[in-house]
Structure 1
């Protein structure tokens, strides 16, 4: 087993085995010896940065230690020091090179070229990328500003923000599509030194000619820096809010998914009371939890990474393997969710209905009292509402219990009132839906002048949750008196009803008149507002006579002597 060591290469820390370290160290020493003293340190720095980039590519997301084979591959790409002799007349090497074991191709990358920039370096960078003189691109840009009504300017500033600047020698070589080898790095660095030397030697001759260009570049550079910093600040603010909200949502998805996954072990009755999902219990809760986490959690996770990248630009990537793996899981979850959704929608595609009608044996001059009653075995409160849930009846058989019972008030031109009870359910076809509706057990009865309705219904547990409901339609003829019990309002529904939902308080009598419910004995709001008048007379020495009159009918008299009440009486006055 080879020993490993840690090294700092181009500002990055790497773990490398001993043989690879020895070979890489010898290689860098050989490169250093082959270079002339002029600009040697700058060249070595650029070479190390390029080797660090190649090492990161070799490691990827799975490997942690640089091996000897990795070093051989890097050296093959960079080239041996003795293979290169810098010759100014030698043409630039091809954009690829091969060795016995490796082939490496260098393609152009798009950067901003600030060395030849007038503003942000976008046009200069595009000229390198497309191999077109920058002057022609600048002319096209100016013309397009007028033809596109300023859209080109927006595109320019977006590219200014998004495109990185070519700062290092490696980036400048990539910008021009040249292979990043020792020879090209050395040549590029020396070209930079020669440019500086020529500018110093010809400073007096070029001073007048360069002043205008320098001033334009200075203004452009300053404006560019200001705009760049402004957009960086906006980007960080946007990144912060994306990170904040995406993190909160992502944590919420994780918590909900964990609850669904681990709720499968809870008692079914407890789940029915507390867990409600779009697919109910046709799909196992653990499967719903995993689908929810994959379908919604993965996009939120990428939003978290996006917020981090905007807020902290040098945030390290999770790697292509992780990205593509998560993308594959997300696509699979979407497909699964679509299949499950289509199947569940098919289960609810058809509506079934069973109808029962009964005429109530009373006349229009009678009073019809309506009340709801409950089964005390299932619920102790008549006004309690519950959706579909699994329960046990008194014989310990599992049933579906629900309070999805709705009362609709209708008018009729018949002489007697009547009731229509509709039991509804859903299924994959009409036969299945109608069969499921027939299995609903719901009772009502008419005793004296009372219509007594159950506030619940039951059905077989094998019927599953398929939106079972009971709708009671009460038809009231003209002139009949309708007397609702105080619990009726909990089951009233204005859908398909002829009367307003809020026709008045329950517990009072209403007469059907011209399609309206006129209350016969509802309290007058003004009767509750007592007219109170109080008159106090102070006789001195703590003696007070106070008279209170309420609506001219009741008079209260209070007499205090020496601060002590000796008379407190109430007199009922005659109104005649």
Structure 2
């Protein structure tokens, strides 16, 4: 049996067995000998005793708990060995040599006191001399951009990096020399950090004694919920940082690429490039959009940093209010410009031109679209709107807003109708812009060659300029559209159904629709069935029996008899009775 000794250490009362007491006494004696020749050693010893008493107090489970050797060994492991407290001056006897010895290099430890999970980022921050927030951001970016390598790197560093536990290790972690002044400073800092806990020891102890079992469960559940919310807040902070920085990056790139079409296109870029608002230069309008869109995302990124590091220093009220004022001005100007833009597209103006196509009765009308090598690589290369230069170096607006359709006419000869359309604040302005659209086509014998683009001067600005081409053909006319027509054809399919499988098909204009004369049977099936269904009728009969479904109708024309459409397992069969 060991004898128990009652001691008063650092103003606290402890029960301690004799072996543990002797070891603790030898420990303090060794420290006193280590710093006996230094000034202020009594104050340092007092601080160390108070720190040891605080650590021993944490070991006490009850008022009658007896401190043993294991508890003393644990405290010594935290505080460090007596030789850690030796001054370099005493060992070397030379001030200059001492200064050289005190210049210790940093050692990598995990700082769990300032860490969020394992203290890896905080330790790396100490080692590299940067804020731990930036280390965390790099690790997060490695998670998303490095296919999860950030998580793997964190786990590896957590395993291989030791935790800074003793005072010496904490000083080595920050690169501070292990001197009496630094030890005293570190001990005092740690003591002050936990002083609030010591003040509330009795409160915590007696408070826990009066808690009921239900209260403890509720407290644990509350802690669990708070932990979940903290994790969610950190995750949300990461999302906000990535989103905010990404949007700001692309907005910044967009300002420098306005007018060039490089890297990114913004919804408003077409209007900027066209000089849609001549009162503002292109760069000013781009900067306006940057402030109107970018400032909210900048504050979102700041919010993300605040969620990750609540102690991060604020940018200051002056910066906040300045950015907020800039945002209000940018939004107000953007709304004003938006209203101006809407009024600029208020009225639709049209200019129509017609020209007869002089075809011989047996001629086949050949229709094709062509491109301009100066603006496009081929006829398939399309652009709804583009600011470019013509062969003379003049800035122009280029567009493939060209549509084509075929309709029937009662005239004897076919003719083409070109409609130029544009918008403006008034009808006169819209018609003036429509008249200034440049569009070309050629009629060479039985060939109709159409440009697949329109041009207009940049001074006319972008106002939904477009071309509508309509070819009116009388009954009996033969047509042969080129494959290029399919990109621009807007005809009613019930009247003219263009087949895309070949550009060698010949079409003939009939009474109710245009039929393909040399198309495969399966491509003409729709037109044949539709034509049959469109015949005038007064009576329709539907019969369902074991043979399938039969649809019969009576016509009013004297030269037609009853017709039936029978649907069964073999497909669709049209029969005439």
Normalising by structure 1, we get a TM-score of 0.48
